[in-house]
Amino acid sequence: MPPDKILVLAPNWVGDVVMATPAFRALRASFPAAEITLVIRPYVRKVLDGAPWFDRIVPFDRRRKGSLADAVRVIRRFRAQGFDLAVVFPNAFSTALLARLGGARKRVGYVRDRRAFLLTKAIPRPGEEPGGPGAFQPVYMADYYLDLAKAAGAEPAGRLLELFLTPETERKTRALFSDLGVGDRDRLVGLNPGAAFGSSKCWMPERFAEAGDRLAERLGARCLVLAGPGEEEVQRTIASSMRSGPLVPPPEAVPLDVLKGVVARLDLLVTNDTGPRHFANAFRVPSVVLMGPTDPRYTHSGDERAVVLRADVDCGPCHLKTCPTDHRCMKALTPGMVVEAAEALLSP
């Protein structure tokens, strides 16, 4: 019997939420009559604006100071709703505990963080056997999440990433471009130099500046230097080093919903391996991805319009947030490599 009420506990990070969209789509397509509630961090909420897969969205951040009282309220609310099924996308113990205390009758998640006893269906990671650790195999996260949806009884409805723009988002994006003096026919290249993960994922600002100037000249494009909260300094450093007159929107003018609209309008995105990279994939925008300390198998779909630039180094992939040595994985990537990849992507 299909579930009547489904609780979906979303991933915590922007890129992971985007890569979970095929799983969200599969749950809705497989259970069209179900009432689906999504729990998501407030910061990430705007990524899913306009998505048709959920009946209600509950913003909740278990990491926020004072969140215990919020958790109690959320748990009481969940218990009153009486969920038949909870799909636990994050790998954290606390998220599985939330589903258990919330009273969901069936709880599906991966065997991680010693939490199997909190789940009614605990599935092993790829390459692992139930009941014991094995040789875990890195897999593209969209497929990882799709397998979780399948374990919950859903049938895949395609593996392409998908995002939406609301009329309000489109209005705010048009207003931003008007303020920046961007015309409808302008060719736009986005430079995305930040990464919430940590500094190890970040290419050097001076190389972003050089690549931007060369792309502006070679492609006849205008460059837009993007930045998230706390990334203002690197944005200023890049913009002040460029000769081509880059566009520099303040981070507060580009929240995540507007960032979707901005990326959807770009002709090309040059980016570290971070959330906006997956926005580009979802909107089929070509991208050049600078990949440093992380394994590309987690994030490269194989069907995106992207060139992933990566150097094989003896210390990688390390998955460390900060580099303890000389950041050789990113220093090996040059502006010339970016320009060559961009021209290949944009050639007729």
Measured at the CA of 64, the angle between CA 58 and CA 65, to 5 degrees, comes to 135
Among the three residues 151, 179, 194, which one is the final residue of a domain in this structure?
151
What does the alpha-carbon distance between residue 43 and residue 54 come to, in Å, rounded to a whole number? 18
Name the token pair of 217. Answer: 């000249």
Predicted pLDDT of residue 216: 97
* Residue 40, pLDDT score: 97
Range of the domain at 327: 167-346
The CA R_g of the chain, rounded to the nearest whole Å, is 21
Does any domain span residue 305? Answer: yes
pLDDT score of 166: 98
Contact 210, 335 (CB under 8 A): yes
Please name the amino acid found at residue 246.
Answer: P
Q: For position 113, what pLDDT does the model report?
A: 86
C-alpha distances in angstroms, 200 versus 13, 235, 236, 275, 321? 17, 17, 20, 15, 5
What is the predicted pLDDT for the residue at 62?
Answer: 74
pLDDT computed for residue 136 by the predictor: 72
Same-domain check for residues 139 and 173 = no
Residue 240 domain flag? yes
Q: Is 143 contained in some domain?
A: yes
Q: Which of 120, 151, 182 is the last residue of a domain?
A: 151
Residues present in the chain in total: 348
Q: Could you tell me the CATH number of the domain that includes residue 266?
A: 3.40.50.2000
3-state DSSP assignment of residue 43: helix
Any domain includes 161:
no
Please state the domain count of the chain: 2
Element (H, E) at 309: strand 306-310
Query: Rounded CA gap, 251 and 111, in Å?
Result: 38
pLDDT along the chain (348 residues), means of 10: 96 97 98 98 96 96 73 93 97 95 97 93 78 70 97 96 98 98 96 92 97 97 95 96 96 97 98 96 98 92 92 94 95 97 91
Note the pLDDT of residue 127: 67
Assigned domain for 156 exists: no
Same domain, 34 and 141: yes
